[in-house]
Every structure is written in structure tokens, then in C-alpha cells.
Structure 1
Amino acid sequence: MQDLTLVMAQLDPLVGDIPGNAERAIEAVREARIEHGADVVVFPELFLSGYPPEDLLLRPSMETRLREARARMASKVARDVLVIIGYPGRREGQGYNLAGALYNGEWLDEYAKQALPNYQVFDERRYFATGNRSLVLEHKGVRLGLLICEDLWDGAPVRAACEAGADVLITLNASPYHQDKPAERLRLLEQRAAEVERPVVYVNTIGGQDELVFDGGSACVDAGGELRVLAPYWQAGLMPVQFVREADRWVPREGEIEPSVDPEESLYCALVTGLRDYVNKSGFEGVVLGLSGGIDSALSLAIAVDALGAQRVQAVMMPYHYTADISRQDAAEQARLLGVHYQVLPIEPMVEAFMETLADTFAGTERDTTEENLQSRCRGVLLMAISNKKGLMVLSTGNKSEMAVGYATLYGDMVGGYNAIKDVYKSWVYRLARWRNTQSPAIPERVIERPPSAELAPDQKDTDSLPDYDVLDAILVRYIEGDMSAEAIIDAGFEREDVYRVVRLVDRNEYKRRQAAVGVRVTPRGFGRDRRYPIVNGWQPGE
């Protein structure tokens, strides 16, 4: 019986590290050959450059470095293994998103991506020209049709590859994660395979890159669309797929299928992966964050410890007059639970010194949010000083609901290099905190149960100035993710006053969000690459 072993190399490249990524590929092929007897090894989209390389693609030396890396691969990659790997390239003056085929020291051919996405976080038309031909490679009796990511979603390149004679379709991908994306991706994969009656091998990248995070989940479905192999989510590695010849068709045997996980676990893993890769790939020693005794900083601390280890995380409680005793107690208890370095740095002397300096300037004015913001900014100064002195990145801790409506202080609690929960709505913050506690004690229960408060004024609660978070989040999802108008949201059953207050706050606070720390994107419409609104504008909310 004829058979063929294809190995999906679900790995985490470093953007811009072309020589390093080439070495990772060389080692992966060697391991795939030794451990799995690989006949074919497939890497993700743009693996040699890392994804997305963005304007690094405009650097004149990019093509030179890629040629050198491909030459090294040709001389070092194990023999008798077909390697299919993604990289950018300039051909006849045009840039392309390519999949190259290497065998026995020779680059056989290249496939250029035909469907270039230009929506949400994608802007490939800025860098690449459109490919115009299918590529089918015959290897050990199997005709392999190459595709790259969006080609599968578009559909036309899939049909073209089949018309060109492909027995098996191979797609190289760098498909970013957002909530519900893994299931959506599998449904598409199964649908396309069933449409063209061909097995499809889907190799996805993994790891964090700036605000994007990639979940892996490389897979193979048979010609009927049935899932035969599914690599683990959130775990780098090599996953073999065994093909056998049955009659006149190549059929993937059933292999390992990673069990499905609940939505909370998937989202939590995304946040951990995004933070870990951002800190490690950027070369920081660790992180420092303000631990207030509230839910947002509590969840952020748990994520940081799971991403980096307790020894690389420092938590600082910075109390003022309005900080409740239970906040101090809960912060200390969580620091003890997680084993992080913990300090208490009172801010009363700093705030009072500022207020004394500003006394004449503020004479004749009423106390307002200015004094509240001053407390937050004193805390930001302390965190940044620790960051400078110890080489620790400041982790800011505002959630998406707060960032949407501007419930945060510029140069105060917004200071930081990264925000693990920037794209997590407040209602999901609670869900994640509860889920994390099912794994091991991490967040004191009282932190989860208490009404949320910034504690910048006596008896302050978030609901003093915002709708209940369940209502707020439901409005925000419709306005931000769904682009619904204020009137349409009202028609969906929400109070007019709440809706207009929320959408005006969202529109008014674009200037704040532009100055916020980068954070991992986990919704279909994160603040950043895929929601680009003008700061200054005369748009009025309404229909």
C-alpha cells in the first residue's frame, strides 16, 4: 500500500529574525524526519519573515536576507523530504506572499497567494501583488495543490487548484485568533473540503506578535469534510498526518484530535500567550503592575504569573485615603497566593505635595476629577520609576469596557508597555477570573464578588457614572463589533439615555485609546489595527 507522511510544523517564528527562523525550520525538518519519518513538512504562511512583517517588507535588505536564508536551507535541510514554507519575495519588481517548495537542495517552484485580505487587521494589498496561477507539485505519487490562508476563505483558488489536478490541498496560514475563531475556521475547512471532494491540510502559526495572537489548531480533514487530525491549540510542535492510497484517492488516516476547550480557557490561553511572547520577544526581564485589590489588576496578575512565572512579576499596592482596608487585604492575599514580589508604596505624600504646589493655581475651584486623576498619575510615576530602575515592563490593567468609554486616566492607570486585558470586556473579566480559580486558587473570591470601584473618591462605584457592566457591554458589542447605530441599539431594547451616553463616550475618547498601551486582540474588532476612527471629527451618533 502506498502511503505518505506529512508533518504540520506548527511553530512560532520571530518577526524579522530571518536567519533564526531559517534555523528553526532546518531543525524542525530534521526532527520531523527522525521522529515521524516525514516525507513532507509544511510550515505556516510567511514563516521565514514572521507574520506580519508589516513595513519591514519595504526594507531594501529584506530580499537579500531571504535569499541567504533560502540558500542556507537548501544546503542544510535533510534530504528526501519535501519542504513547503512561506516567505515574502520580490519577483520582477513586485512583492508577493509566497509558498516555496524545497527538495534535495533545490527550490523547485513557488506559489503566489491569490486572495489578498484587506479588512480587519489585514492590509496585504499594501505590500503584495496578486498571484495568478495555481501550483500543483507531485511528490511520491501525490499531487499536492498549494494555497495560502485567504485563498481558502475566498474559494476560487481552491477550485482552481483542484482543476489543475490536485489530489490533496495544502494551505499555509497565519490566521489570528479571536473569540469563536477556532470553530469558525474548522467549519470553513470542512466546508471547502466537502465542496471540492479533496482532503485539506491546514497549517497555522502560533504565538503572539504585538497585538495579534495565533492559536495554532493545525488540522487535516478528509474529502468528505470530516476532521481527521487536529493539533493542540496554544502549543507549538510537529503534528504528523498519515495519507494512504485507497483505490484512486489519497485518504488521511485518523490521527490525534485535540479535545475541544471551553471559551474561557481558550480566551485565557490567548491572553497568556500574547503577554508571554510580547515580553520575551522584546527582551524584558519581567513585568511590574499596580495591584489595587480590584478585579482587573487581579486577573492581570494571574495572567502575568501564568505567562512568565512568579519570579518575573512584581506587584505594587499604592494606597491612598480612599483605598478600602479590604482592598489592601485582598491584594496582599493574592500576592501571597501567587508568590510574586509584593510591595506597598503609599501615595499620600506624593499627592499632598502636588496639591500643595497646585494650591494657588486651583484656588477658587471645586474639587472634581482633577484630584482623582492626580492620584492615578502618582501611581503611574511610581510604576514607571520601578520599570526604569529594574528593567521591568509596566503592565497596565484597563479592560475593553473601560477603554471604550474612557474610564481611565491618561498618564495614570493607562501608563504601561502592554495590557493583557485591553480587548476583554468587563463581563468577560469576571468569567475569566472565575474560570482561573477552577484551575488553582489565584484570585480571592471577595475580589470577584465586590462591586467594582476605582477608589478615587469616598464610596465610589463604577456604576455611579456608567450603566451596569452587563448592559454597558451589550451596548458596546453592538456599537463597536456590530457597527450598529444608536437608534438601532435602542430598537434592540436598550434605554435611550444609556445608549446615547455610551456611544458619545466611545466617540469622544478615541484620543485616549490612541495613547493606550498595545494589548492582545481577542475580539473581531479590537481597538488598534482594525478599528481606525478619526480623533477629530464632526460625526454625530444617531441613525
Structure 2
Amino acid sequence: IIKYTQNKILLPEYDVFEERRHYLPGNENSLKVIDFKGLKIGFTICEDAWVDEEITGPRGYETDAVSVLCNKGADLIINIAASPYSRNKISLRQRLFQKLSQKHNIVFIYVNQAGANDDLIFDGSSAVYKNGRLLLQAESFKEDLLFYDTEKTYNFTASSGQNRMHEVRSALVLGIRDYAGKTGFTRAAVGVSGGIDSAVVLTLAAEALGPENILALAMPSEYSSPESLSDAQELCRNLSVKCTELPIHSVFTGIKSSLAGIFSGLSEDITEENIQARIRGLFLMAVSNKFRALLLTTGNKSEIGVGYCTLYGDTCGALAVIADLYKTEVYELAALLNRGSAVIPQNIICRAPSAELRTGQKDQDTLPPYDLLDRIIKKYYEEYKSPQQIIAETGCSENLVIDIIKKLDQAEYKRYQLAPGLRISEKAFGSGRKFPVVKKLSYRSINV
């Protein structure tokens, strides 16, 4: 028997949320308080409780559903949520709900979804608050069951919780596991280059699905260093993952021979570099098809941001595991994954990053050092800083800042065609980004 229904009052319309396109909101007059065994219970749905702009930031809502329910006599409010994870989100929610429960002198029960769907990861972290105190806390990044007794006294001591990179690790493992499971895959495939990105993705995949369910492919070329191949093989041994070597040299030579006529008189350039990446993409997709293995891509946020990737090459795959991690964060995560047991060889961590698509190639031939690149991208994309502000705050030259911003804007067409990337930041490339591919941009000289 359905005794009561309630519509969501506040429909978010920012970033990944587009609820007003699909639903009509309820109104505050529909909010009711239910009497149950002497308790007066009110219900809110997810965003309905995000009403304190000192904590949440500007939302522009006119209705405060929590205050309405409290004015109607509620002494316990349940918030049913599907609130996606991002860094610092767990602690932000805790501050918000502690403040609401203290402000209104109520019990506030937060019930959040646990699991992942597409690029969104729901961390669970359900909790009970009373008069500003945290009484009970459910597990994060897994399903959990708590019982709250309204007549019992609780003396809960909150744990210090996971640090930032522990949270990220748990989120990405959950994201891989649920994406695979909910799409019917039990195995995954990863191309391993001997670089840090593929090493981290392979390690996370083995943790999520089990090493026996991971297919690792090493695809050396004439430009691959012997160390890269041996480090990739050592990584796989450390993880107990089977590694298959598929050299691409003969295929690359054949393709160049086939194109020799039309390319006659032209020097080799990035075209030949991209051909190598696309051969590897072809091999990976073939293995994915033949063995029904979910292909995981290995690009990071820094490289995806500036377009330092090859369409239909290293971008091939169904899920971009570290697409929302800056390169510097990939190294942080690698350090965490190596705690206790150094599964990722130190050579991989220490070697200068390289795509190894030409002789002597290094990432820094094309890009500034990653710590600097990441700062520029974050300030422009996540903090909405102007070029002038970025120059002033980083001390970088105008030419460098404008060059990176141009690369960010011009790479939009690549990002439109990428696999969904697991989201762990407040501003990720993907479903929440609504920028056109075709746009007229002007990069004028800046006076600072």
C-alpha cells in the first residue's frame, strides 16, 4: 500500500545534472510530515537538502525544503540521495548535514547510493546526524547496512577517514568493477607500454576484476626501448597478470609501403607516429572482440586536456579509467599502489614519460613539465581563471599560457569522441562539459 508520495523540489541544472529537461519539480506545499510511532518524519530527495550556500556555494534556489519541513514540525528528516563522488565531497556533505541537524535541532539521516553508473561513481557514505553530531557512518565505496535506534544513546567516534588518494583508488576500483559488471563483462584488456599511466590502470583493473581476468598486451615497435618492454613484463609478473607481446613493426612497415605512392616526396611526421598508435588500437580492439574483454584506455587528464593523444589509437576503448587524474596525480596514485608491495617497478615511476613513437621522443619535447602543465589546466578549466590571472599566479610566460589554452580549446573535437571517463573531480571532461566543437576563438596579446 502506497501511503505517501513526494516529488523532488529542487531540480539541479548544472554540470552532470539536467533534471529540469526531464522532470517537473514539486512545490513546497506538497511537503508533508508523516507521523510514525511518535516521530514526525520529513523526506527530502538529494538536492532538496543542499540549501546552505555558505557550504554548497551559490545554487539560486528559492525554496528551502529542510526549513519548510522543520516548520511543519519534523524532528527527523531522511534524505534519499544519488549523490556522485568527487574529491572532498564526503567531507563537504558531512559539514552540510551536521550544520542542518544543529541549526534545526533534528535528526538528519542521509541515505546515499553506492555503486557506479557510466562515468559517475556513487560513494555511499550514508550517515546519521543529530544536533550537529555524527552518530553513525556507513562504509564508503561499498554497500553497507546500518540500524539507527531512535531511543538509543550513541557515542560515535568518527574515523579519520581515507586520505584523498585512498578515496580516489577506492572510487576508480569501484568504477571499473561496476562498469564491467553492469555491462556484462568479466574480463578487461589493457595495453601496457612500460609507462606510468598504463601501469596504474593495469594495477587498478587487477584489483577490481582479479588478475586472472585481465589481458595485458605489450606492443613494442622499433622505437620502443628494451627497458619499456622489460618493465611492462615485470609489472605483469608482479600482478600475476598474463602479458602477451604483439610487436607492431611488420604491420607498420606494411602500411608505410602501402602509402608510399600517395606519400611520395613527403617527409615522415606526426602521421607516421599516429599510424603506430592506431595499429596498437587495432590490436587491442581485436583482442577485446575475440575474448570479450572490456578495453580500458589509459590516457590521463593532462594529456586528454591538451589533445596529446591519438584518435582511434591510444584512445580506443570502452572506459577511460584515469581520464580525470592529472599526470602528477597519476604519480601520487602509483606511490600509494606501491605501499606495502612495490608492484609498479621503480623504473616505470622514474623514467621520463615518452610516447616512443619516434627516436629519442620525450613528452617534454611537446609539453611543459607536467607539474606546470597541470597547474595551468586546473586554473583555466576548474578555477575559471583568466589568462592574465594564470600568468600572474604561475609566473609562466604569456606565450606558454596562451599555447596551453589554445591546445585545451582545440582538443574539444577529440574529447567528444572519447570513452566515458571515471569522474573523481568537480570538473571533469565528459558528460558535464557542454562546449561546442566548432567555435570561433580569439587569442589576443595580453598586457599584464
TM-score higher than 0.5: yes
- CA contact 1:222–1:252 (8 Å) conserved in 2: no
Give, in whole Å, the separation in 2 of the partners of 1:141 and 1:437: 53
TM-fit CA distance, 1:285: 3.1
TM-fit CA distance, 1:113: 1.2
**What residue in structure 2 maps to residue 500 of structure 1?**
402
Is 1:394 the equivalent of 2:301? no
- CA contact 2:186–2:209 (8 Å) conserved in 1: no
**What residue in structure 1 maps to residue 18 of structure 2?**
123
Give, in whole Å, the separation in 2 of the partners of 1:485 and 1:529: 24
Is 1:463 the equivalent of 2:360? no
Q: 1:377 to 1:238 in 2, by over 3 A?
A: same
Give, in whole Å, the separation in 2 of the partners of 1:107 and 1:254: 36
1:225-304 aligned within 5 A? 225-244=132-151, 253-255=154-156, 257=158, 259-304=160-205
1:37-52 aligned within 5 A? none
TM-fit CA distance, 1:137: 1.2
Give, in whole Å, the separation in 2 of the partners of 1:258 and 1:340: 35
Q: What SS is found at the alignment partner of 1:394?
A: strand
Give, in whole Å, the separation in 1 of the partners of 2:442 and 2:206: 43
Task: Read off the aligned partner of 1:337 and give its amino acid letter.
Answer: N
TM-fit CA distance, 1:540: 2.3
Q: Deviations over 1:492-543 (max 9, x none)?
A: 2332122111100000010000111112111111111211110000022468
TM-fit CA distance, 1:177: 0.4
Q: 1:237 to 1:143 in 2, by over 3 A?
A: same
1:244-393 aligned within 5 A? 244=151, 253-255=154-156, 257=158, 259-393=160-294
Q: Of 98, 122, 145, which aligns to 1:214?
A: 122
Number of residue equivalences: 431
- CA contact 2:186–2:213 (8 Å) conserved in 1: yes
Q: 1:149 to 1:138 in 2, by over 3 A?
A: same
Q: What SS is found at the alignment partner of 1:179?
A: coil
Q: 1:207 to 1:258 in 2, by over 3 A?
A: farther
Range that drifts further, 385-394 or 440-449: 440-449
Q: Which runs of 5+ in 2 are unaligned?
A: 53-63
Q: Of 293, 305, 314, which aligns to 1:413?
A: 314
Structure with bigger RCO (C-alpha 8 Å, 6+ apart) = 2
TM-fit CA distance, 1:149: 1.1
Task: Read off the aligned partner of 1:528 and give its amino acid letter.
Answer: G
Give, in whole Å, the separation in 2 of the partners of 1:151 and 1:451: 48
Task: Read off the aligned partner of 1:377 and give its amino acid letter.
Answer: R
Task: Please report the TM-score for the alignment, with normalisation by the length of structure 1.
Answer: 0.78
Q: Which runs of 5+ in 1 are unaligned?
A: 1-105, 245-250
Q: Deviations over 1:79-131 (max 9, x none)?
A: xxxxxxxxxxxxxxxxxxxxxxxxxxx21101211111110111111111111
Give, in whole Å, the separation in 2 of the partners of 1:295 and 1:522: 19
Give, in whole Å, the separation in 1 of the partners of 2:161 and 2:3: 38
**What residue in structure 1 maps to residue 415 of structure 2?**
513
- CA contact 2:134–2:156 (8 Å) conserved in 1: no
Q: Of 154, 160, 164, which aligns to 2:68?
A: 160
Is 1:146 the equivalent of 2:43? yes
Q: Of 114, 122, 142, which aligns to 2:9?
A: 114
TM-fit CA distance, 1:258: 5.0
TM-fit CA distance, 1:432: 0.2
TM-fit CA distance, 1:339: 0.8
TM-fit CA distance, 1:454: 0.6
Give, in whole Å, the separation in 2 of the partners of 1:294 and 1:469: 15
Task: Read off the aligned partner of 1:227 and give its amino acid letter.
Answer: L
1:440-459 aligned within 5 A? 440-459=341-360
Q: Deviations over 1:383-432 (max 9, x none)?
A: 11111111112111000100000000011101001111011110100000
Q: Of 183, 189, 195, which aligns to 2:103?
A: 195
Give, in whole Å, the separation in 1 of the partners of 2:181 and 2:352: 35
**What residue in structure 2 maps to residue 177 of structure 1?**
85
Give, in whole Å, the separation in 1 of the partners of 2:25 and 2:167: 34
Task: Read off the aligned partner of 1:508 and give its amino acid letter.
Answer: Q
Q: 1:146 to 1:112 in 2, by over 3 A?
A: same
TM-fit CA distance, 1:256: 7.4
- CA contact 1:486–1:541 (8 Å) conserved in 2: no
Task: Please report the TM-score for the alignment, with normalisation by the length of structure 2.
Answer: 0.94
Task: Read off the aligned partner of 1:358 and give its amino acid letter.
Answer: L
Give, in whole Å, the separation in 1 of the partners of 2:206 and 2:351: 23
**What residue in structure 1 maps to residue 430 of structure 2?**
528
Q: What SS is found at the alignment partner of 1:440?
A: coil
Give, in whole Å, the separation in 2 of the partners of 1:498 and 1:140: 66
- CA contact 1:406–1:509 (8 Å) conserved in 2: yes
Give, in whole Å, the separation in 1 of the partners of 2:43 and 2:154: 21
Percent of pairs with identical residues: 40
Q: 1:313 to 1:277 in 2, by over 3 A?
A: same
TM-fit CA distance, 1:440: 3.0
TM-fit CA distance, 1:194: 1.7
**What residue in structure 2 maps to residue 31 of structure 1?**
none
Give, in whole Å, the separation in 2 of the partners of 1:194 and 1:477: 35
